[in-house]
Amino acid sequence: MHNLIAFFRRFRIFMLFALLQIYALSNYFTNLNFPKSQWNTSASAISASVLGLRNSIAKHWNLNDNNIALQEENIRLRKKIPNSFIRLNNRMVKIDDTLYQQQYDYIPAIVINSDCNKRNNFFTINVGSAQGIKRGMGVFSDKGIVGVIHNTSTHFAVVKSVLTENVNIDVIIESSGAFGLLKWDGKDPRKGQINGISNDMKIKKGSKIVTRGGSGIFPRGLLLGYIESFKGIEGKPLWEVTFRYSENYRSIQNVYIVKNLLQAEQDKIEEEIPEDKEE
């Protein structure tokens, strides 16, 4: 007790000054509008910064969950579009969901490794045979076609991307109906080519290029890109068509694998097509 009394006696002047200072500042910020508004503004700015930092941290930790939820929502919406179904009764005019059978299903995945600088480029995704992934399945993103499954392990798969020498995906120029095969010359990962377009077909710059859907790897109508230029090939009745990919393969992350539920049926019936015999 004696020490406490001695402490107050020793620092009584400083403690009195501190109390008076607190009282004065309190009246200053409370009764005068300008200092009060400045104080409130500063306090609000500090609070906003703290809340913004907390929100950024929360968004970072929740980013993966949000991406997965977005992919699942995209799959639900894509399953409702006509290109995912095959009509069972062509004589009916009235649209009825019972007349359609689902042909395509979609499996979400994330690109975990990729190349864009080689002559033949491959992507690795984080799903494999355990999720039903098989060689030959198509892969696409929200922006465009990515490639075809090359091989799989239990939990991973390697995608042969459109940036390879022999990708051979059948595509169609939407405005004219002209169709050909996707090719890549190995030069610019932003641009591809289409082979087999007859020069008697009218095409124009900016036309949309989409999947034809003939092989069953992709449903018809998935975007690939837009025509950038075309010119005649000397000595051949064909156009040399160059287009710009709609997807940026240097930064691709979220993709979908196409599962054609009727692929086996299509392959079986096409195996019965007789081959031409040379005489």
> Percentage of the chain with pLDDT > 90?
47
- Output the average pLDDT for the chain: 79
Q: How confident is the model at residue 275 (pLDDT cuts 50, 70, 90)?
A: confident
In a shared domain, residues 168 and 233: yes
Whether 213 maps to a domain, the answer reads yes
DSSP one-letter string for the chain: -HHHHHHHHHTHHHHHHHHHHHHHHHHHHHH-HHHHHHHHHHHHHHHHHHHHHHHHHHHHHHHHHHHHHHHHHHHHHHTTSGGGEEES-TT--S--GGGEEE-EEEEEEEEEEE--SSSS-EEEES--GGGT--TT-EEE-SSSEEEEEEEE-SS-EEEEESSSTT---EEEETTT--EEEEE--SS-TTEEEEEEEETTS---TT-EEEE--SSSSS-TT-EEEEEEEEEEPTTSSEEEEEEEESS-TTS--EEEEEEETTHHHHHHHHHTSPPP---
* Co-location of 53 and 116 in the same domain: no
Among residues 39, 58, 77, the one where a domain terminates is: 58
**75-105: per-residue pLDDT in tens?**
665 555 555 544 444 443 333 444 456 788 8
177 within domain boundaries: yes
**What are the tens digits of pLDDT across the range 177-234?**
999 999 999 999 999 999 999 999 989 999 999 999 888 899 999 999 999 999 998 8
The domain tally of the chain equals 2
Are residues 146 and 249 located together in one domain of the fold?
yes
Q: Tell me, what's the pLDDT at 24?
A: 67
- Does residue 240 share a domain with residue 122? yes
- pLDDT at residue 238 greater than cutoff 90: yes
Residue 96 confidence (pLDDT): 40
Asked whether residue 148 is domain-assigned, the answer is yes
Q: Domain containing 45: what range?
A: 8-58
In a domain, 92, yes or no: no
pLDDT for the residue numbered 98:
46
Whole-model pTM over 0.85 = no
Q: What is the pLDDT of residue 272?
A: 84
